[in-house]
């Protein structure tokens, strides 16, 4: 039951936050529309429409989730993530946004793959789940956690992303004694190392550290003056490691039936 509601909240955050960026007509979005050949005028006409669809999907995911919508959300999330390198950004962006596509996929696996057309459209309700299904959900959660850590870590360790530097400077991290300008690559390598460690062995303590670290790094958006939707739209960046943290004891308990 806890996982079911965590995933509802995750979908809500991801798509309402992403949709809010469309409503705000975020300038950085323009180049993604232009990948499809849209001119500037058409791009800014479409942005709030796309945003409204995302918000509607997020609300549906919280209030009355449907399997068809989760499949659409996973495909849409993957498409929007892969648009970034197509628009000239780095491949780290695709990894960092693993929650966009992996989160709805995990929810779909938890809910059970539909066997009839009606099952695709009916509301998803909580039901007992097998240990095998839980293990499959855990695999997806594990790799979401790994990819978001390595992707975000790559910004600092390799890319030296200006946005990150701005956040660290505004928050005072670059002014820390004995750390200074090395804080960005240092945190980047820490995230990459943590991601690799969880890929090799997802210990509960490591997963909890990942959850706390990701909440902390993404909170820098609103703390340093960026729009709140930047934090909200990364819902599964926090939900995935937290859900994995909760799920791990059940997978390791021989008496648990799932």
Give the tokens for residue 13: 């955050």
Give the tokens for residue 228: 């709140």
For residue 210, the model assigns a pLDDT of: 98
Q: Which of 26, 35, 12, 155 is nearest to 87 (CA)?
A: 35
Q: How far apart are CA 204 and CA 85, in angstroms?
A: 33
- The sign of the CA dihedral 24, 25, 26, 32 is positive
Query: What is the pTM for the complete model shown?
Result: 0.94
For residue 257, the model assigns a pLDDT of: 47
Q: How many CA atoms lie within 13 A of 179 on its CB side?
A: 13
Give the tokens for residue 47: 């942005």
Q: How many CA atoms lie within 13 A of 202 on its CB side?
A: 25
| β-pair partners for 66 | 123
Relative orientation angle of helices 2-23 and 67-86, to the nearest 10 degrees: 50
Name the CA radius of gyration of the chain, rounded. 19
Q: How far apart are CA 18 and CA 52, in angstroms?
A: 10
For residue 253, the model assigns a pLDDT of: 65
For residue 254, the model assigns a pLDDT of: 54
Q: How far apart are CA 57 and CA 47, in angstroms?
A: 16
- The two most distant CA atoms of the chain are separated, in Å, by 61
- The CA-to-CA distance between both ends of the chain, in Å, stands at 11
Distant-in-sequence, close-in-space partners of 138: CB < 8 Å, separation ≥ 6: 202, 244, 247, 248, 251
The pLDDT tens digits along the chain (258 residues) read: 789 999 999 999 999 999 999 999 999 999 999 999 999 999 999 999 999 999 999 999 999 999 999 999 999 999 999 999 999 999 999 999 999 999 999 999 999 999 999 999 999 988 888 889 999 999 999 999 999 999 999 999 999 999 999 999 999 998 888 777 799 999 999 999 999 999 999 999 999 999 999 999 999 999 999 999 999 999 999 999 999 999 998 877 655 544
Domain ranges of the chain: 2-252
């Amino acid at each position: 039951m806890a996982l079911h509601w965590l995933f509802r909240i995750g979908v809500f955050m991801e798509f309402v936050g992403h949709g809010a960026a469309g409503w705000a007509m975020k300038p950085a979005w323009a180049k993604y529309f232009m990948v499809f050949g849209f001119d500037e005028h058409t791009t800014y006409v479409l942005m709030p429409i796309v945003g409204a669809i995302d918000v509607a999907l997020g609300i549906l995911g919280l209030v009355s989730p449907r399997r068809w919508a989760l499949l659409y959300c996973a495909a849409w999330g993957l498409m929007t993530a892969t648009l970034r390198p197509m628009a000239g950004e780095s491949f780290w962006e695709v990894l960092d946004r693993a929650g966009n596509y992996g989160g709805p996929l995990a929810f779909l696996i938890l809910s059970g793959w539909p066997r009839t057309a009606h099952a695709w459209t009916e509301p998803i309700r909580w039901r007992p789940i097998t240990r095998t299904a839980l293990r499959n959900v855990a695999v997806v959660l594990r790799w979401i956690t790994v990819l978001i850590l390595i992707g975000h870590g790559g910004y600092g360790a390799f890319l030296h992303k200006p946005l990150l530097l701005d956040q660290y400077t505004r928050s005072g991290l670059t002014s820390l004694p004995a750390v200074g300008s090395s804080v960005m690559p240092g945190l980047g390598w820490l995230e990459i190392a943590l991601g690799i460690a969880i890929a090799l062995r997802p210990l509960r303590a490591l997963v909890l550290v990942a959850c706390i670290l990701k909440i902390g790094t993404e909170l820098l958006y609103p703390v340093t003056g960026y729009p709140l939707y930047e934090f909200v739209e990364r819902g599964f960046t926090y939900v995935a490691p937290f859900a994995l943290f909760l799920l791990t004891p059940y997978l390791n308990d021989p008496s648990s039936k799932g």
